[in-house]
Structure 1
Amino acid sequence: MRKTLLYLLFLALFLHGADINDSLVRGTTQTYESLLATLKKTEQKNDDTALQEALLYKLINLSKNPPVEKIVIERPDNEKAYRELIVRFGNWALSKAEAAKDIASLEERLGVVADQLKSSESNASNLLTLQLQYAFYTKGKNLYIRKLEHYKEAIGQAPSYFVEGLQRISFDTDTVKKRIGQIDTSLEKLEKEIQRLDVERERLNLLGKSGAVKRIGSRIDRLQAKKRNLLNEKLVELFILFSSALHDKKSTEAFALQKRIMKIIERSYPEEVQDDMRALFDKMETTVLGRAETIKGATLEEIKNAVSLFWEKANAPLFVINETPISAFKLFMALFIFVIGIVIGGFYKNSIKRLTFKTRTLTSSTRTLLANLGYYTIIIIAFFIALNVVGINLSSIALVAGALSVGIGFGLQNIVSNFVSGIILMFERSIKIGDYIEFDENLRGHVSDIRMRSTTITTNDNIDVIVPNQDLIQNRVINWTMNDQIRRFRIPFGVAYGTDVHKVVGVIKDAVKKSGFGDIYNDGQRHTRVIMTGMNDSSVDFQLFVWIRGGEILYPRRTESRFLILIYDALYEAGIEIPFPQRDIHIRSVDEKIPLRLDREDDDNAPRYDDIQKGESL
């Protein structure tokens, strides 16, 4: 009982409550041996004391171990020493990555133990276990940190030794290439054997033969280990070739070998090892080839990699049609061929028009038919060539057409009709974007967009009207600007009876000529006219025919108003009366109670009321 009390008193001196005990963390071999001796004398034996003894033994061993020595690197004077340095460098990179992982793992454990110490309400024995664990993890972390520093130092110094070695050593590249071929053959055989065993293991697993499955699994593991060793040997041989290429200043070959080595490393080693190998390659290339050549070679290699990656992605299948993979490159080539077909078709169409304009034997309709027929034939041929490039045969098109026909039969007639009508509008170009069309008496405006299903018409009131393409194909549409922007306006007006009609024609023509309107158009066939159109009840009717060119034809009401004002001013200045309706009134009877008196100061002979009573007419 007395020994137990002494032990607990010793613990109290060490623990300082639930805080981390720095004296245990910084303890020496004597500290841990003294605590172990005290622990062995105690009469209380349980799981905690057993764990404490194990931790103290580990701390004693860590304290007795000599400090981690620096890694010594010797300059390689022959190919064998150079190979050994390559293997050592790979081991350093792997050990560095493992040390970094161990440090991260120990830091996590230290955080957990520290939290347990802060929240612990256990007895002194449990606290001592936590304190010893914390000290053990801390010493282990410090050991790995020292190892990590030595690995980093060795990895940083290695490139200069590699450069010195490749400058002094003559490599037997023929033997190296032969050895690489042998390794590739062995790797291929190993891979086939592993695949065969994996299939056999799967079959035995389905049969429930666990013992045989376990044996095959062990054999696969051994083959995988052998495969890793062969890959390491291949890496060494490839690095020898890389070093020889650097020695001979063959930058293109060196960068290609570097890429080949990095592909193997990226598949088999962690990122830390990959970074160390890239740094090694960069330092060796910069030292031997120079920075400018290294940057040039790296840029060319990056361009090759980018082109290779682009080509791989471009040829990767995006989807499959009738068991035919369709890639982005095939789609691009098909689209390119189709566009070339459209360009050739357009060139043919314009050429036919230019050629046929020189001869009078062909009518305009025949010329248009020849141009359009050849144009659409070229486009159809380009379409089928594009399908052939993609890899789609006519049977696939027949299947799609059959599916579409079923869909049309179930109510897609309008959608397909609008779709086809949109294609017709786009190819026929009878209605183009920017044209000013009149669909009916209540709708006219600019064509602002033509889509597969509908066409958008923007009126002069800036209202967008969506019209299905089918309506534009089936109904009559007036295109004001299909071929040019010249239109004849008809401005109606009238004059009073008794007016000299020849004078009216001359006055209006002269007014139009002197108007100064820049949009009036006159040529040999189109010129301003004034014609008499009829004799109505109250007026002699005329119409002004005037040709207008330019944007004003798109605003008919504004243009008509401009010329009506011009006509009104011209008739007024010429003293020509503009008529208005006139009627004679005949009064047959008047109520006698209604007084009636009509006085006209300027006419003494005006009839009076008495005269009206006698039945005389006003």
Structure 2
Amino acid sequence: MKLLWSFLILTITLWCIPVDTKLYEGENTLIYYDQLSQKLFNITPMDDEETERLQNEKVLLGKLKLLIINEPQVQTFDASLLEKETVSETEFLKLFEMLSSAVEQKKKLEEIQVFTQERLGYLKKSIESVTDPQYKNLQLYQLQFAYYKLKHRHDELTVKSLTPFIEEGENTLSLLITKVKFDIKKIQSNVDKVAKELENINKKLIAANLTKERELLSQEHISKKLSEKIEKLTKEKDHVLLKLADKEFLTGFYYFQTKVFKSVLQSQKKIHSILSQLSYQDTLLDAKLEEFERLSKESKEAINYNVLSLRENLLSSYEKFYESFQKPFVVLDETPISFLSILKLLGILLIGFIIARIYFRLFIMLHKKRKETKAVSIKIIANLGVTLILFAAFVIALGSIGLSITHLAVIAGALSIGLGFALRSIVSSMISGMVLLSEKYIKTGDYITIKGDLTGKVMDIGYRATHLRTIDNIDIVIPNSELIDSQVINLTMEDRIRRIYVPFKVPYGSDIKKISSLITTAVMESKIKLIRDIPRKKPNVWMQTVGESFIELELLVWIEGIRPSTRSNLLILIYETLQANGINMPLPQLDVHLGVRKPSQRPKIGNMAYHVKS
């Protein structure tokens, strides 16, 4: 199998058309070009397509000859400037311009090299994929590949020649800047003059754009005259901006010479602003700014510049961050809302919440000392004060972002769809809490029973929920809406005295009066905490039910408060009293009668009889 694959690969390789290296390698390249030119001259095109292809091949051959003949020129600086004691502003700017142009050219060539390499890869694959030597576009592909190959080599040599030139220029620039005599007054005067010129052009451009907007409102296209005017003003503005940039460079060089690095950074910042205002991307101005910044960073006083630059960068980052926070992301009722507005609103609400909490605690602490005021009343007043404070904070927060209380309807409408269902239970519980606090049916310290089996002491009644503590010391938080909607038994609403029932059973045939007397006497003589002194609340025994095999009695006693152990103690007392008096607990009875029952015979109450006929 491996041999088969190797044979196939070898066959495909032999049949593929290779790249014609004679077009860009070797000493006889120009002779080869002449041969191809003669060959192309002798071909008579058959149609327009072939005519166009032959024309393209001839043009490419001409470009190949130029690339072979024209070698990259090595640039050098005029060293005579270093021998001068003083250098004029014009000479220094000319040198700076030449250096910046070289930097711009190098950057462009490096970008072009990446593009050229991609094209070479594509063309090589296209040529090698051709298996027919007579393919009509094959020669065009070969010439195009050779052109990009020579162009890539030419650009690479140019970049190599520009590198020492740029290094020499940067060193020369660093040495010459100390010899330049800058006339700062004249420079500042020129800056002001150009700035006024720019201001006038900006006014004209704004007026022209307003006219453009008016025309677009009434018609689909603007007039040709207005379009030409805007284009002319834009070009004038770009020209003035470049003049202003040159003046700012002179200002920056002066401050660099005098080591006022803060002003150097300001000049660089202004040039950055000029770059952003241009209607096109000026790579030369960008290269100038890059060289100016490099000169500042590599100077002897670079540490001072870098410290200030870091500070300026931090301030710039802060300004950008602050601007992004100030930028509105939504407009609500013609009022722009930004992230900064939202933070301001949340901050005011947080302060209002803190003030409300402090007010609530201080109010409760101060009024707890006044025993004549009820706790429920204190809490109601405190909660109302908290509500007012929070409402005032909300109104102030809305005003801080440009909204008023009248916009609440807009906000409510925008939020009602998403939050309506989610806030329904919370709002219901809060309103229920206000009702509970205003009424006196449930108070802090009461023992209540809810849902039939949940009994506990009310520890606190909040706005949203009530804190309940059971006899097992378990804390339960119940939403206030459940206390309003459900049936609640308040065991200690107005009076802490209540009656409890303790059921017990005795067998048939027992003396009910005797048992009642024994149990009542035992309860009266016991040490269980009961109410015994009030005549109408003395312990008593009632007959409750006559069952199938027992008689159910019920002990009734009155107690004060909630005493869960009382029922257990009373059951123990009843059991011991019955045992001491020989009265046993009833057991289930089942009587089976065999034979025929006479009609007059009836089973005793509580017995079950089975009759079997013989």
TM range (shorter): 0.5 to 0.7
Amino acid at match of 2:350: V
Aligned counterpart, 1:19 = 18
Superposed CA deviations along residues 82-136 of structure 1, whole A, max 9, x for unmatched, are 3224333443343234323433443344344334422343538754343222222
Match of 1:172 among 161, 171, 183: 183
Contact 2:329 2:337 in 1 (8 A): yes
Q: Distance in 1 between matches of 2:467 and 2:134?
A: 86
1:429 and 1:279 mapped to 2: Cα distance? Answer: 77
* Cα distance between partner residues in 1 of 2:99 and 2:436: 72
Matched-pair contact (CA < 8 Å) for 2:524–2:539:
no
Task: Tell me the residue number matched to 1:521.
Answer: none
Counterpart of 1:135 in structure 2 is: 146
Give yes or no for contact 1:453–1:469 (8 Å, CA) kept in 2: yes
Q: What is the deviation of 1:64?
A: 1.9
Please say if residues 265 and 274 of structure 1, whose CA atoms lie closer than 8 Å, have aligned partners that are also in contact.
Answer: yes
Is 1:337–1:386's contact at 8 Å kept on the other side of the alignment? Answer: yes
Partners of 1:248 and 1:490 lie apart in 2 by 101
Note if contact 2:191-2:247 (Cα within 8 Å) is conserved in structure 1: yes
The separation in 2 between residues aligned to 1:415 and 1:30, in whole angstroms, is 84
Equivalent residues of 1:415, 1:453 under 8 A apart: no
5 Å-filtered alignment, 1:389-408, equals 389-397=400-408
Deviations 1:477-522 (A, max 9, x none): 6899xxxxxx99998657965658787688666xxxxxxxxxxxxx
Given the alignment of the two structures, is residue 88 of structure 1 paired with residue 98 of structure 2, yes or no? yes
Report the Cα distance in structure 2 between the residues aligned to 1:73 and 1:281, rounded to whole angstroms: 23
C-alpha separation in 2, matches of 1:488 and 1:83: 105
CA distance in 1, matches of 2:38, 2:336: 78
Q: Deviations 1:249-284 (Å, cap 9, x if unpaired)?
A: 444443344333334435653799869955862562
Q: Note if contact 1:39-1:53 (Cα within 8 Å) is conserved in structure 2.
A: no
1:216 is displaced (CA, Å) by 5.9
SS in 1 for 2:331: strand
- Alignment-derived partner of residue 536 in structure 1: 542
> Counterpart in 1 of 2:237?
227
The answer to whether the aligner puts 1:56 opposite 2:68 as a matched pair is: no
SS at match of 1:66: coil
Amino acid of the structure 2 residue aligned with 1:232: L
Name the aligned partner's letter for residue 252 of structure 2: F
Alignment pair present for 1:39 and 2:39: yes
1:240 is the counterpart of 2:253: no
Alignment pair present for 1:382 and 2:382: no
TM-score by length of 1: 0.65
The match for 1:99 is: 109
**Contact kept? 1:55, 1:133, Cα under 8 Å:** yes
Sort the Cα spacing of 1:575 and 1:328 in 2 relative to 1 into closer, same or farther, 3 A: same
CA distance in 2, matches of 1:506, 1:175: 119
Structure 2 counterpart of 1:183 = 194
Question: Residue type of the partner of 1:59?
Answer: L
CA contact 2:116–2:148 (8 Å) conserved in 1:
yes
Q: Deviations over 1:394-427 (max 9, x none)?
A: 44346667x69xx99xxx9998864632554688
Structure 1: distance between partners of 2:449 and 2:317: 54
1:281 aligns with 2:293: yes
SS in 2 for 1:83: helix
Q: Equivalent residue for 1:421?
A: 428
Secondary structure of the structure 2 residue equivalent to 1:536: strand
Q: Which structure 1 segments of 5+ residues have no match?
A: 1-15, 481-486, 510-527, 549-559, 595-618
Distance in structure 2 (CA, Å) of the matches to 1:107 and 1:359: 91
Give the superposition deviation at 1:56.
Answer: 2.6
Residues 589-614 of structure 1: CA distance to partner in whole angstroms, max 9, x if unpaired? x99978xxxxxxxxxxxxxxxxxxxx
Given that 2:120 and 2:149 are in contact with CA atoms closer than 8 Å, whether structure 1 keeps it comes out as yes
Residue deviations 1:162-189, cap 9 Å, x none? 4434444453334333333333333333
Matches within 5 A, 1:179-218: 179-194=190-205, 213=224
Query: Structure 1 residues 240 and 413, CA, compared in 2 at 3 Å: closer, same or farther?
Result: closer
Contact 2:542 2:555 in 1 (8 A): yes
Q: Percent identity?
A: 20
Query: Are residues 1:322 and 2:333 paired?
Result: yes
Mapped contact 1:418–1:454 kept (Cα < 8 A): no
Q: Distance in 1 between matches of 2:212 and 2:334?
A: 33
CA displacement, residues 40-77 of structure 1 (integer Å, 9 cap, x when unaligned): 77475673554443333322222221333145376774
Structure 1 vs Structure 2 CA RMSD:
5.5
Q: 3-state SS of the aligned residue for 2:540?
A: strand
Deviation for aligned residue 1:20: 0.9
In the alignment, is the contact (CA less than 8 A) between 1:92 and 1:151 conserved in 2? yes
Distance 1:259 1:474, change over 3 A: farther
1:505 and 1:165 map into 2 onto residues whose CA distance is 119
**Aligned residues of 2:72 and 2:158 also touching (Cα < 8 A):** no
Secondary structure of the 1:255 match is helix
- Distance in 2, matches of 1:165 and 1:423, equals 80
| Contact 2:251 2:267 survives alignment (8 Å) | yes
2:433–2:464 Cα contact (<8 Å) kept? no
- Tell me the distance in 2 between the aligned counterparts of 1:507 and 1:135: 121
Cα deviation for residue 386 of structure 1 reads: 1.9
CA contact (8 A) 2:75 2:161 kept: yes
Q: Determine which of 306, 329, 342 is the counterpart of 2:317.
A: 306
User: SS at 1:139's partner residue?
Assistant: helix
Per-residue CA deviations over 1:519-577 (Å, capped at 9, x if unaligned) read xxxxxxxxx768764323346455776879xxxxxxxxxxx5x8877777788899976
User: Contact conserved, 1:162 with 1:284, CA < 8 A, in 2?
Assistant: no
Q: Tell me the CA shift for residue 391 of structure 1.
A: 1.6
* Alignment-mate amino acid for residue 55 of structure 1: L
SS across alignment from 1:287: coil
Partner of 1:598: none
| Secondary structure at 2:299 match in 1 | helix
3-state DSSP class of the match of 2:17? coil
Quote how far apart the aligned CAs of 1:317 are: 1.9
Tell me how many residue pairs correspond in the alignment: 522
Question: CA contact under 8 A between 2:74 and 2:162: conserved in structure 1?
Answer: no
Taking the aligned partners of 1:298 and 1:446, their CA distance within structure 2 comes to: 68
| Distance change >3 Å, CA 441–CA 65, structure 1 → 2 | same
Structure 1 stretch displaced more, 268-277 or 61-70:
268-277
Q: Secondary structure at the match of 2:72?
A: coil
Aligned partner letter, 2:542? N
Structure 1 CA distance for aligned equivalents of residues 376 and 456 of structure 2: 29
Instruction: Say whether the 8 Å CA contact 1:68–1:146 is kept in structure 2.
Output: no
Do the aligned residues in 2 keep the contact of 1:454 with 1:467 (CA within 8 Å)?
yes
